[in-house]
């Protein structure tokens, strides 16, 4: 390039990113990978980063950058034996199942100590009737 133009180029400072989201690009990318919606991301940026941004801005930010991204070829991971995958030996599993079976089941409904039939009138004791 012409030395004059190079000098001119050097004299022009680097502009800051056009989008205020640029600095949070990786965070947004990871949130999308975790299945967060655009609204989720807006909320997280507001609550955790203190950044106010519209849903449409997030959408545009992602869309524009996705245009230049090559489609990835997703592959299923190779099959592994069950015990290797969970990292637990069959003996451990057996003992855990036994412990779970032995664990007392929490009673759902507590027995009532007092019962009042709301549709019935009050009955005065000793007067043999209701009001």
Partner 1 sequence: MNTETKNKRVVFTMGGKGGVGKTGLMVALAEWFEANEIPFTLLDLDTENKARGSLKHFFNGSVAKVNIHTPAGLDAFVDHLESGAAIILADMGAGSGQIASDWFDAMYDDVSATGARFTAVGVVTPDPASVESVLTWANRLQERAQYVVVQNATSPQSDFSYWDSAEQAIRFREALSPIVIRMEFRLAELENPARQHGIRLGQVATRQNAINELKRASIVMRAESYRRRLFSEFDRAKEIFLP
Question: Given the rule CB under 8 A, which residues bind partner 1?
Answer: 110, 112-118, 120-127, 131
- 70 vs 110, beta carbon nearer partner 1: 110
Angle at 109 between CA 105 and CA 111, to 5 degrees: 115
Tokens at residue 51, please?
Answer: 């950044």
C-beta of 128: minimal distance to partner 1 in Å? 11
Contact status, residue 112 vs residue 121, Cβ threshold 8 Å: no
Backbone φ and ψ for 14, nearest 5 degrees, come out as: -65, 130
- 72 vs 122, beta carbon nearer partner 1: 122
C-beta of 104: minimal distance to partner 1 in Å? 16
Q: Which helix (H) or strand (E) holds 10?
A: helix 3-11
- 74 vs 116, beta carbon nearer partner 1: 116
C-beta of 131: minimal distance to partner 1 in Å? 6
């Amino acid at each position: 390039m012409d030395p004059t133009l190079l000098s001119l180029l050097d004299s022009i400072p680097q502009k800051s990113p056009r989008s205020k989201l640029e600095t949070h690009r990786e965070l947004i990318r990871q949130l999308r990978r975790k299945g967060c919606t655009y609204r989720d991301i807006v909320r997280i940026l507001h609550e955790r980063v203190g950044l106010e941004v519209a849903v449409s801005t997030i959408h545009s930010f992602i869309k524009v950058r996705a245009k230049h991204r090559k489609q990835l070829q997703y592959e299923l991971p190779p099959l592994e034996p069950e015990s290797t995958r969970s990292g637990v030996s069959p003996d451990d599993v057996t003992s855990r199942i036994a412990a779970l079976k032995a664990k007392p089941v929490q009673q759902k409904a507590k027995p009532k100590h007092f019962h009042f039939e709301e549709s019935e009138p009050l009955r005065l004791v000793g007067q043999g009737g209701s009001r």
